[in-house]
Amino acid sequence: MKANKILMSGNEAFGEGAIQAGCQFYAGYPITPQNELIAYMARHMPERNKVFIQAESELAAINMVFGASAAGMRAMTSSSSPGISLKQEGISYMAGSQLPGVIVNVMRGGPGLGNISPSQSDYFQATRGGGHGDYHSIVIAPASVQEAYDFMGLAFDLADKYRNTVIVLGDGILGQMMEPLRLSAANQTPQTEYQKPWALTGCKGRKPNIIRSLYLGDGVLEALNVSLQKKYQLIQQEEARYEGLFLDDAEIILVAYGTMSRISKVVVNNLRDKGKKIGMIRPITLWPFPKKAFSGLPAMCSKLLVVEMSCGQMVEDVRLSVNGKYPVEFLGRAGGGVPAEEEIIEKIESIL
């Protein structure tokens, strides 16, 4: 009996994954292509005695997450690109106040209102901070419905572990597509592992707690920034994740994340069947970017090809990682365009 295997969309899997990870608070505002997620939370959070709020805007939603997180709860919001832009101020305040929180971005085409087709053009916004100030969110990119589910547990754990915001970066394809999903309780981390003595609970039996990001005293804000940078360094050392395919003998290495890595994987397997030495690196965390994956490439590797549903964003991190040692080619499509298998193969043939 396969009782624990069900068919779900990526958007629903984000929601169920969050609930299994102990999410206690969700606030969101409708936007396509993530509407199944807010609807899932509206139905299933109250059912399990957790708080769901349809906020009046993305601004309100992220600041509600700020509040619930300040009160010590596992809290999340979700949106798609235009809504995520609105959340940037709140994410920056959470970074300054060192509040954990999870933000799901089911990316769509931009800039502006753009369209509702899948895209990966918010990579810069997600990995560089996105709002004001020197900060980073941890960015995780699932590539399947199973990972959409599994990575929510990871996201909440990393958020609590580092008192940091975590962005789970998907796209319209991942959000909408349905795949079989194995549900597990393995996602659930015991809350006791992450004590939150800083949380606002009322000051009974202790000194008052204050959550703030304003520091006017001489050098105080600089000191906060120095300690944030130390935290970010630690995260870079400890949390970079990637998946490698055929990296021991690859002559050309594809680099892709999320949905694009699914399509690229098909390309790699098909070309391997034809005897072509193609490999692949799939960053799982986009920040921290898995630089290590690019340090021990095989001697026969002559080129890398980055494939994105954007005009070229992650390609910059790949170039920084190989630091001039290998030529880095790029194939991308924008505004809802998705590089197809044949386009990728054509590109590979042109650079072989």
Partner 1 sequence: MKKIFSHPVSLRKTSTHYCPGCGHGLCHRLVAEIIDELGIREKTIAIAPVGCAVLAYDYWDFDCTEAAHGRALAVATAIKRVRPENIVFTYQGDGDLAAIGTNETIHTANRGENLTVIFINNAVYGMTGGQMAPTTLLGQKTTTTPLGRQANLQGFPLKVSELLSQLPAVKYIERVSLHSPQEVIKAKKAIKQAFQNQLDNQGFSLVEVLSACPTYWGMPAHKAMSWIKEVMIKEFPLGRIK
Contacts with partner 1, 175-204, as mask; x by CB under 8 A:
-------------------------xxxxx
Binding mask 63-82 for partner 1 (x = CB under 8 A): xxxxxx-xx-x-x-------
User: Going residue by residue from 1 to 30, which x/- string records binding to partner 1, judged by CB under 8 A?
Assistant: -----------------------xx-x---
Q: Which is nearer to partner 1, 58 or 329 (CB)?
A: 58
- Nearest distance from C-beta of residue 113 to partner 1, angstroms: 20
Residue 77 CB, shortest distance to partner 1, in Å, is 10
89 is a site residue for partner 1 (CB under 8 A): yes
Query: By CB under 8 A, which span of 52-60, 111-119, 145-153, 275-283 interacts with partner 1?
Result: 52-60
Per CB under 8 A, the segment of 3-11, 48-56, 237-245, 332-340 that binds partner 1 is 48-56
- Minimum Å distance from CB 36 to partner 1? 23
- Say if residues 166 and 141 touch (Cβ distance below 8 Å): no
Residue 68, token pair as written in the block: 């619930």
Residue 73 amino acid letter? M
| Residues 96-115 as x/- pattern, contact with partner 1 by CB under 8 A | -x------------------
Query: d(Cα 205, Cα 129) in Å, to the nearest integer?
Result: 37
**Regarding beta strands 242-245 and 278-283, do their DSSP bridges make them parallel or antiparallel, or are they unpaired?**
antiparallel
- The DSSP symbol for 291 reads G
Interaction pattern, residues 309-328, with partner 1; x per rule: CB under 8 A: --------------------
- Spatial distance between the Cα atoms of 258 and 269, rounded to a whole number of angstroms: 17
Residue 317 identity: D
Task: With beta carbons less than 8 A apart as the criterion, state whether 21 and 188 touch.
Answer: yes
Of 43, 47, 56, 350, which one interacts with partner 1 (CB under 8 A)? 56
How far apart are the C-alpha atoms of 259 and 263, rounded to whole Å? 7
Closer CB to partner 1, residue 208 or residue 296?
208
**Quick one: DSSP state of residue 336?**
T
CA triple 88-78-25, angle to 5 deg: 105
Count of other CB atoms within 10 angstroms of residue 232: 18
DSSP class of residue 2 equals: -
- Residue 115 contacts residue 108 (beta carbons within 8 Å): yes
Total residues at interface with partner 1 (CB under 8 A): 38
Q: 107 with 122: CB under 8 angstroms? A: yes
Among 29, 40, 93, 287, binds partner 1 (CB under 8 A): 93
Q: Which of 4, 7, 47, 57: binder of partner 1 (CB under 8 A)?
A: 57
* One-character DSSP codes across 101-142: EEEEEEEB--STT--SSB--TTHHHHHS-SSSSS---EEE--
CB-facing half-sphere around the CA of 335: CA atoms within 13 A:
3
Looking up tokens 């890595």 gives 261
When the beta carbons of 73 and 305 are compared against partner 1, the nearer one is 73
Min dist. Cβ of residue 60 to partner 1 (A): 4
Contact positions vs partner 1 (CB under 8 A): 24-25, 27, 51, 53, 55-57, 59-61, 63-68, 70-71, 73, 75, 89-90, 93, 97, 200-205, 208-214
